[in-house]
Amino acid sequence: MVLMLGATIVLCWIVAFALLFAYLAHNKTSTWDDKLKTIATRILTTIPNGTELAITRPPLKLRNPGLAEGERLVFQVWVDRRQLAVTSPGAPTSPLQPSFEDGAASTEIGGQRWRVYSVSDSDGRVYVQVGNLHSVVDAELQHNALIGLVLNTALLLLIGSLMWLAVRSSLRPVVALEAAMRSRRSFDLTPLPSAALPRELHPLVASFNHLLGQLSESIEGERRFIGDAAHELRTPLAALQAQAQIALRANTAADKDVALIKLLRVAQSSSRLSEQLLDLARLNASANAPQHTLAELSDLILHVTRDFDTHALQQERSILLDIRKCAIRCNIDEMGILLRNLIDNALRYTPKGGRVRVSCGLEPTTGGEEKAEEIREVYLEVADDGPGVPLSESKAIFERFHRAAGTSARGSGIGLSLVAGIAQLHHATIKTGDGLEGRGFAVRVIFPPATAPSDSQNR
């Protein structure tokens, strides 16, 4: 800033001096012409009419001869263009203006350039010529330019000094803020003070504080996540250790098999928990850089449900599909996580012999059939016929590590929080309600309309 201000002042100094010099150069001749004209006309009008002019006596002398030193202004009075009647000391003997034309002109006499103004009387007999050397005119121009240069330089230096002091005073709080920031401990994200800063910097500091607030929330969220994950992992790890000890102490093969089966179930539950924790960490890492592409939701559902067919048969549960062609703009990996968690949650809380239905399609319109299909919203729904979820907990179950009360199945409390986070990243809304045939629980995710048209044919 100081360099830019200094460069601006230097540029202003150059422009101001150039304009001053141009002004003086343009007006020096006209100024001197006015002076010479005034002197010439005054001399002519002081000569009495009809007086015979002749140099009959020597000129008077000054009491102080020093007054005439350095004075180069001269004049001549000519009669009939031939007789030099009156002349000033130091004036040439030849006419200053040989053509005797009235007005200003530049002439050269004896190797010296003169600026002359000539006037004549009404009869054309008496001519008065007043002149000054061009060197004197140029010297005066240089003197005036030097004075202007000195004054201009002094003024701009004063302005520059005041501006430098103002900038230094204004930025002193910034320097103090920078020193305070460097002395902070790691992860000290308290807002920056802005009261002492210039008003122009308040928006910048406010944006920094907003960023620091977001960073603080992110770090605090990571801390909570690590703490909750450690707490959740402590229980299955303890169960693994206990079942392993029971298996080691078993006296019979049957008791050992029972302990190993329980150990396998705890290991499977721990594996599922670790997968969900990894999904949650991956989702948090990619939250700021989503990469969405146009995808067919029905194809994603078919791909994910195939992975659950064997698992559902082993648990004596069935998966029903009611899907229609519908395109959404999504991150395919995140959408796979959402589908797996919805289906896994439904299977986990559905009793043996129960059913889980996965459906998708276009939301029904409220403005009539004339509404174009390509601008209709797309829904994804997973419904079951299990015990359901109390209405008071229909929103709380989407919070991290929350489990619905009164359920026999044991989940991690992460699956539905992943669903909520992915839905938020896709600008989708979640609705809950009753499941199949008025029983159980249903989760419907409504996505904004995609740009590509979709087909409503059933599969």
| SS3 per-residue string spanning the chain | CHHHHHHHHHHHHHHHHHHHHHHHHHHHHHHHHHHHHHHHHHHHHHCCCCCCCCCCCCCCCCCCHHHHCCCCCEEEEEECCCEEEEECCCCCCCCCCCCCCCEEEEEEECCEEEEEEEEECCCCCEEEEEEEEHHHHHHHHHHHHHHHHHHHHHHHHHHHHHHHHHHHHHHHHHHHHHHHHHCCCCCCCCCCCCCCCCHHHHHHHHHHHHHHHHHHHHHHHHHHHHHHHHHHHHHHHHHHHHHHHHHHHCCCHHHHHHHHHHHHHHHHHHHHHHHHHHHHHHHHHCCCCCCCEEEEHHHHHHHHHHHHHHHHHHCCCEEEEEEECCEEEECHHHHHHHHHHHHHHHHHCCCCCCEEEEEEEECCCCCCCCCCHHHCCEEEEEEECCCCCCHHHCCHHHCCCCCCCCCCCCCCCCHHHHHHHHHHHCCCEEEEECCHHHCCCEEEEEECCCCCCCCCCEC
Do 141 and 154 lie in a common domain? yes
Percent of the chain surpassing pLDDT 70: 79
Q: What is the pTM of this model?
A: 0.47
Do 17 and 148 lie in a common domain? yes
Of the candidates 242, 265, 285, which is a domain's last residue? 285
Predicted local distance difference test score (pLDDT) of residue 279: 66
Does residue 53 belong to any structural domain of this protein?
A: no
Domain count, the chain: 3
The CATH number given to whatever domain includes residue 217 is 1.10.287
Average pLDDT over residues 180-203: 82
Do 26 and 110 lie in a common domain? yes
Of the candidates 238, 268, 285, which is a domain's last residue? 285
Do 9 and 112 lie in a common domain? yes
Mean pLDDT, all residues of the chain: 79
Do 121 and 146 lie in a common domain? yes
pLDDT for residue 3 is more than 90? no
Poorest-pLDDT segment among 10-14, 50-54, 147-151, 253-257: 50-54
pLDDT for residue 183 is more than 60? yes
Does residue 269 belong to any structural domain of this protein?
A: yes
pLDDT for residue 201 is more than 90? no
Does residue 63 belong to any structural domain of this protein?
A: no
Average pLDDT over residues 118-143: 84
Predicted local distance difference test score (pLDDT) of residue 408: 47
Does residue 300 belong to any structural domain of this protein?
A: yes
Do 37 and 153 lie in a common domain? yes
Does residue 142 belong to any structural domain of this protein?
A: yes
Does residue 100 belong to any structural domain of this protein?
A: yes
Do 140 and 203 lie in a common domain? no
Domain interval for residue 437: 291-447
pLDDT for residue 58 is more than 70? no
Does residue 161 belong to any structural domain of this protein?
A: yes
Average pLDDT over residues 2-26: 81
Do 31 and 154 lie in a common domain? yes
Do 330 and 429 lie in a common domain? yes
Do 325 and 299 lie in a common domain? yes
pLDDT for residue 381 is more than 80? yes
pLDDT for residue 286 is more than 80? no
Do 273 and 168 lie in a common domain? no
The CATH number given to whatever domain includes residue 389 is 3.30.565.10
Poorest-pLDDT segment among 16-25, 211-220, 318-327, 336-345: 16-25
Do 14 and 108 lie in a common domain? yes
Does residue 55 belong to any structural domain of this protein?
A: no
Predicted local distance difference test score (pLDDT) of residue 458: 40
| pLDDT, tens digit (0-9, with 9 covering 90-100), for 103-118 | 888 888 888 888 899 9
Of the candidates 142, 161, 183, which is a domain's last residue? 183
